[in-house]
Structure 1
């Protein structure tokens, strides 16, 4: 058997492999060869031993001899499929049987190798399996990005955003941990994606909202788990750190992470290894970590809600995204961008906003930042109301809602005042007013005739 070909394309080291063969020499040979390339390589001489190993750790790739004592490799693979197998399988056999090969492929084999073989054959097959696995991960993330209409463009030409872009370009090529801070809606995930895009890392970008996952499930979601690790864990499962192998994991709302998980995350950052829930072994990882928060972490540290050592470990490189109210010059550029984008998504003609609209947009405080601006533009397009007109209506609505009525007014007078105010709010459009009031247009016309003695055809 030949030596390893050093010209083979390198793959991410954070890959786990299980070799199942009843020949000690073959197990030793493959273990020695694959351990030079991958993070975790285990061997088993029987299906029973392999099952015990798989109960403690997830394996990305299984290299299995077909003829094994007791249950065959193919029968085992078929059983794994019934449990929702997520590992790739390469079958080995010393018997040139076409029927067996076909059965192996039908059982879900990724590849099929005849014994004896040259090591280059096995390594090429392994490379193909891992590359396909990484490609599936990337395609899954790309489909997600397409489904949410993701754009990697960071909009904004203000001095503040130019500074942010310069920092991104400078730190992106490094593997350093980055902490992104900013209010909700400022575009922290967009900055994280840009860091990943410019990093040159070949793996996927995996976003995780730490605040949206139940605390008791967060460890399993991030690090994975083994079968039986807890109630409901029927099989082994990869965590999101494994899913992000070779790429970037984005831990959004890191300030929401429970203290227990903060301890586990600190260990991951220091050891560059994860331990799936229920497993006794750690698995090396090749993942860049980017975290983000809308909280002031220094205050959280002082309050005892966030570990001081984790804060310092995350805050190696800090990017602060300014709120939209501090950069009104970016509002016009963002408005044009969202108008074009939303018109295309909604299938309508692109709207041209007036100078008055732009002035009103720049004068707004935008407590919800860019997210609020985008929602505002979408609402205006759907309602057919320019921003300036929309705000006039909002001001009237808020004024109407804040009005109180004298306690000595009879109910009829309160009703009249409220109804006429809503009609005024809609600039005399009684159909629109009737919808807001929850009555029919005929009822509104009858009320007006009763109060003012005019018919539907007359103007008010």
Structure 2
């Protein structure tokens, strides 16, 4: 994370010495134009540390510090004083100041003390920014990979993770693109830095620029205080841009400039801020097709696509399903406090026979739902959604064995194309019926299908289904 330090003194020479000593590739130091009013900026300026002369800490300023000392928005405040007064020091610390340092100390000693405070602040900030893994995968070797498809996919990952290059992760919804991004970060030289994820498809267009690049106080209506963007938060770490294909064109051009120049400018700001970030991007769209249609910039596509990784869908790695089930039953059991030991043979057969259009994410949701419903030591077919257990309708497997119901035109197509067409026809019909039965209530429909709302929204968008058209 990029640290920001403000100096509030009326001594230009001291400001210069502080700036020269503390400025590093992970630290930006600025001098306030109106140092006497520094306390007015508390909670408004996006900074981590303020160095302020004791003479400027008025009773009004001290009251402001005291009012905000429990707020997470207030930066650490270090008071620089020219005299030793234990009572005054105690009052300042009690009011909420981080430390009181004698400015007459040898500058090397003063600088070391300030650097220690900065590094402590940096560690605290990094702990807040870093996102812990929510899945039982922390490194490449933790991925389940009995299938040839997954083994071939994983083989080059150690070299790619260590390279530092931009990576474009491709794959259907739910295959685990964000999980892979976590692992690439954890296996990279930046593993000690922050990992910051942004879901471009979940952000309103009006907020996306501010989310990525930050904004200054007053930049737009509602911007009551300055805020860092994700590029600053990910400084010396990894920024993951999920569903990059959803980014509007005007922001694509700004993102390209950041990737080329390694500088950002906050919304409403004038100063360029240098950032050191590795960008991983992901999409379930065909970006080459998007480029051809004019919806995605060709130059940005090439910049992001230094290395591309296409994750195999679950239906192409069916051999991995039993081990995935074991791994997630154990992981989910400890998370939700459920003592289910595994799945019955019939349930395993049903799970292995399902086509998994929602991929691993759907498998996780189905298992969690089944574990919560399960009244036995092991999950049975009664705990599974009807679409998987086979309690209603034809399964894909049954359809393929029955020449009377299998369409002749599909038999003339390549297997991969025929399978995709059948799955899409089934899935669109299933979702249409499901949404009709719930009057377009997405949350209820997702719960009934055993998937999360995000997955359902993605599928509705893909098939052109609008929840409003299902409302009675």
Do they fold alike, i.e. is TM over 0.5?
Answer: yes
Aligned to 2:380: 386
Q: Are 1:377 and 2:367 matched, yes or no?
A: yes
Deviations 1:429-454 (A, max 9, x none): xxxxxxx9xxxxxxxxxxxxxxxxxx
Alpha-carbon contact 2:103-2:110 (below 8 Å) kept: no
Deviations 1:26-75, CA, capped at 9 Å, x for gaps: 12222232335555322246425768999997333221111139888646
Secondary structure in 2 aligned to 1:397? coil
* 8 Å contact kept, 2:216–2:223: yes
**Whole-angstrom CA distance in 1 between matches of 2:9 and 2:186:** 41
Specify which of 8, 14, 30 is matched with residue 26 of structure 1. Answer: 14
Aligned residues: 386
Give the equivalent residue in structure 1 for 2:255. 265
Aligned to 1:284: 274
Q: 1:53 to 1:354 in 2, by over 3 A?
A: closer
Please say which structure displays the higher CA radius of gyration.
1
How much does 1:79 deviate?
A: 7.5
Which residue pairs with 1:145 in the alignment?
Answer: 132
Deviations 1:199-243 (A, max 9, x none): 132222111111111111111112211111111111111222222
The TM-score, its normalising length taken from structure 2, stands at 0.73
Alignment of 1:61-460 (within 5 A): 61-68=49-56, 74=62, 77=65, 85-141=73-129, 145=132, 148=134, 151-152=137-138, 153-201=142-190, 202-384=192-374, 386-387=380-381, 390=384, 391=386, 395-398=390-393
Give 1:164 deviation, angstroms. 2.8
Scaled by the length of structure 1, the TM-score of the pair is 0.75
Q: Unaligned regions of 5+ residues in structure 1, if any?
A: 1-11, 400-435, 437-460
* Stretch deviating more after TM superposition (157-166 or 259-268): 157-166
Change (3 A) 1:178 1:81: same
Q: Residue by residue, what CA displacement relative to the aligned partner does 1:285-316 show, whole Å, maximum 9, x if unpaired?
A: 12221111111111111111111111111101
Q: Decide whether aligned partners of structure 1 residues 345 and 72 sit closer, same or farther in structure 2, where only a CA change above 3 A counts.
A: closer
Distance 1:389 1:72 in 2: 64
SS state of the match for residue 201, structure 2? Answer: coil
Q: Which runs of 4+ in 1 moved over 6 A?
A: 51-57, 69-73
Give structure 2 stretches of 5+ with no counterpart.
395-447, 449-472
CA distance in 2, matches of 1:277, 1:192: 27
The SS at the match of 2:56 is coil
RMSD of aligned residue pairs (Cα, Å): 3.1
Distance 1:35 1:132, change over 3 A: closer
1 CA distance for matches of 2:356 and 2:388?
17
